[in-house]
Amino acid sequence: MNAIIASTSTIHGSEYLAYLQPTLKEHFNNIKELIFIPFARPGGISHDVYTQKAQEGLAALNIKVKGIHEFKNYTEAITQAEAIFTGGGNTFVLLNQLYQHKLIAPLQDAILNRKIPYLGTSAGSNICGKNIKTTNDMPIVYPPSYDSLGILPFNINPHYLDPNPNSTHKGETRETRIKEFHAYNSTPVIGLREGSWLKATEKDIVLEGNLKARVFKQGEIPYEVAPNTSFKNLK
């Protein structure tokens, strides 16, 4: 495994993928062509428009980006990919499309066995957990299952947001939602703040970026961990 699993593609006041450029330069070293999975369609944009955006975000690395939708055979696109990037958007739509096109097993094989460089942002990171039950997204389509790639032995919650002490809004906080998840599920959850990412390899799964992350385990009080923390043994 050789994956960058990022909370977000974009941080405030900065361009698409800009904050990740030094990391991606190393991660995609020697990669000439990358397969982009645009299925999550943020804001409902088309696959072509989204792929163009990914191309622009990776232009400085001299990588040619091809959208998976440009291929006749989606499975072949994955099995022959040098590198894969799954963009953010709606996690339900993304996972539904992966099931519809029977891409779960090919993606697992590419990431876990062929060990090609993978990049996920937001929804593209959510699907790296055991299931999508800790997504923040609206369930606008009904996927055949919530089980996802499971290349991580836990779930992540991207765009993790701390409770706002000044809020008058009575909707659930993110922490309350994850607590509710743990009323029914034992899988640990990492709340990844915007600007954080996980670097997942065979040897280790490490928190990168400058921010702490928040770890939620069933029946335990959530706790903060610093950058460089290893999650290898988090189960």
- 224 belongs to the binding site for a copy of itself (CB under 8 A): no
Nearest to 217 by CA among 185, 193, 192: 185
137 flagged as catalytic: yes
- What is the rounded CA–CA span in Å between residue 228 and residue 207? 5
Name which position in 137, 154, 190, 191 contacts a copy of itself (CB under 8 A).
Answer: 137
Q: What does residue 131 show for φ and ψ, rounded to 5 degrees?
A: -155, 175
Helices (H), 4-80: 21-27, 47-57, 74-79
Tokens standing for residue 151 = 């290349």
* Closer CB to a copy of itself, 89 or 117, in the complex: 89
* Closer CB to a copy of itself, 24 or 111, in the complex: 24
Burial class (CB in 10 A: 0-12, 13-18, 19+), 24: buried
The nearest distance, CB 89 to a copy of itself, in angstroms, is 8
**Among residues 7, 137, 148, 182, which one is catalytic?**
137
- What is the rounded CA–CA span in Å between residue 129 and residue 33? 26
Name which position in 82, 136, 153, 206 contacts a copy of itself (CB under 8 A).
Answer: 136
* Closer CB to a copy of itself, 38 or 89, in the complex: 89
- 187 belongs to the binding site for a copy of itself (CB under 8 A): no
107 torsion bin: left (phi>0), alpha (psi -120 to 50), beta (else): alpha
- 186 belongs to the binding site for a copy of itself (CB under 8 A): no
159 flagged as catalytic: yes
Residues 49-88 that bind a copy of itself (CB under 8 A): none
Q: Total residues contacting a copy of itself (rule CB under 8 A)? A: 45
Residues 86-115 that bind a copy of itself (CB under 8 A): 89-90, 92-93
Give the torsion through C-alpha atoms of 96, 101, 105, 111, to 10 deg. -90
- What is the rounded CA–CA span in Å between residue 122 and residue 50? 14
Q: Which stretch binds a copy of itself (CB under 8 A): 60-68, 100-108, 133-141, 201-209?
A: 133-141
Which residues of the shown chain bind a copy of itself in the complex (CB under 8 A)? 8-13, 41-44, 89-90, 92-93, 132-142, 145-146, 159, 161, 168-172, 176-185, 194
